[in-house]
Amino acid sequence: MTSKGNLKREAQVLKDQMVLSDDQQGFYRLWAAIDSPYSWKLRTYMNYKGIPYKRMRIDAQSATVTIPKLVGMTIMPAVLAPDDKVLQDTTPIMNFFEQEYADKSCCPTDERLQFINVLLEDFGDEYLPRFSMHYRWGNEQNRQTISHRIARSMMYGNEHMHPKQVAPMILQRQTGFDGPLGLNTNEIRASMDQQLLDLLAILDKHFTHHQFLLGDRPSLADFAVYAHLYTHLLQDPFSAEIMECHGARTINWIDTINEFGDVRGCLGQTEFGDWLDLDAGVPESLTALLEYVSKTYVPFSGGVAKAVKENPKAKKATALVYGVATEYAAFQYRAWSFEQVQLSYQALSHNNKIFVDELLTQTNVLPGLMANGIVHIDLFDGFTPPFVKDGICDARVRYLQQKKRKTAPDWVDA
């Protein structure tokens, strides 16, 4: 190759990636970043389901031009369907795929277990980002490593700019989530350290007896919880030490999910067991996980719903999270997502609701889950999940554009 020949090859790969070859017709095109938990959430789910897709690299061009043209702003992951329809937001995408690809369902048929699935998925999506930001951008070793990792991804195939030149800009733009996520005092950061140790202890005990969160087959909740523990904790050097020292069985679970769909050497698991039988008893480890959710996710997301109920234009929310008074940003999306969990609870049939009520009361998820009633967030009434109508008129995109202007992150995970 000539000078910079490999960089020219990389640049050509980026130019060619939108084109599907003859044997790729019918494939989805998935823009997924190596540092994005929601990208890994969707990517490993699609691997498990056997949904045909082509992974698209997210470089500077796709991040600032291609994806915003499709979605309205830089959001990851983003999906282009075989008919060129645009899909965005992992939870609605996965719910759509559950209907389109019925085999190997990730939604239990037991209505009670399915509600727990919904609850734990939102816990993963909406609470675990606090760990991600606490460790990823709150620790100097992680900050330096990840800013260079993101820069490396963004500068793939770029002949004119080295990742080292871009990393300081990434670091500057990605810093600043402390306040919005309530990571603004030493007491809160110490609490986050303890919360991670407590969560790993619960999960390691659970994975001693069960391969996945809701039995011996993966649920949507598995992919949501996995995404942050793998992408932002196990892959980052400082937090990886915590994970390895305190979460051995949890890492085995992560490894299993990472290997879904990998046929090399018969590596990826293809045979699975059954869902939990709640009538035979609720495992102590699942009860402990729900108690943990009651002290973290419920007050955190519920606090946003309460703030919005009191003032639809609220900027701040307050809650007692894991026993610590916490102030954080009242993101409307978090309240909308919490509303979806409440609606799932409300939709339970009478007999199943009696069972679930007893379990949620025992674990203190109730009364907090419904303490302020269901607060309807109309901000997304124009959204047609998971399909983005266009990058201008879609209600969800409009909201995210407003959110970006207020918080100025380099891009948005969803």
Q: Between these two residues, 219 and 11, which has the higher pLDDT value?
A: 219
Question: For the chain, what is the domain count?
Answer: 2
Confirm whether 3 is domain-assigned.
Answer: no
Does 368 lie in the same domain as 234? yes
SS3 content of the chain, % helix, strand, coil (to 5): 60, 10, 35
Does 63 lie in the same domain as 120? no
Does 126 lie in the same domain as 98? no
Given this model, what pLDDT does residue 397 score?
A: 57
**In angstroms, what CA-CA distances link 11 with 30, 56, 267?**
18, 13, 32
Q: What is the pLDDT of residues 322-344, one digit of tens each?
A: 999 999 999 989 999 999 999 99
Does 250 lie in the same domain as 190? yes
pTM over 0.85: yes
Asked whether the beta carbons of 207 and 253 are under 8 A apart, the reply is yes
How far apart CA 403 and CA 400 sit, in angstroms, is: 5
Does 26 lie in the same domain as 129? no
Does 278 lie in the same domain as 202? yes
89: number of Cβ within 10 Å: 27
Q: What is the pLDDT of residues 26-50, one digit of tens each?
A: 999 999 998 999 999 999 999 999 9
Single-letter residue type at 8: K
pLDDT band of 393, cuts 50, 70, 90: very low
Confirm whether 272 is domain-assigned.
Answer: yes
Confirm whether 156 is domain-assigned.
Answer: no
Confirm whether 153 is domain-assigned.
Answer: no
Confirm whether 5 is domain-assigned.
Answer: no
Q: What is the pLDDT of residues 60-76, one digit of tens each?
A: 888 889 888 888 888 88
Poorest-confidence range of 65-74, 113-122, 278-287?
65-74
Is the pLDDT reported for residue 173 higher than 90? no
Does 212 lie in the same domain as 68? no
The candidate with the shortest Cα–Cα distance to 97, out of 55, 54, 56, 45, is 45
Does 116 lie in the same domain as 96? no
Asked whether the beta carbons of 184 and 329 are under 8 A apart, the reply is no
Single-letter residue type at 19: V
How far apart CA 130 and CA 394 sit, in angstroms, is: 27
Confirm whether 165 is domain-assigned.
Answer: no
State what percent of residues in the chain have pLDDT above 90: 73
261: number of Cβ within 10 Å: 18
Does 190 lie in the same domain as 69? no
Does 340 lie in the same domain as 215? yes
Does 78 lie in the same domain as 192? no
Is the pLDDT reported for residue 410 higher than 70? no
Residue 392 sits in which domain range? 10-103+386-413
How far apart CA 260 and CA 254 sit, in angstroms, is: 10
Does 94 lie in the same domain as 117? no
Confirm whether 260 is domain-assigned.
Answer: yes
Confirm whether 146 is domain-assigned.
Answer: no
Q: What is the CATH number of the domain that holds 25?
A: 3.40.30.10
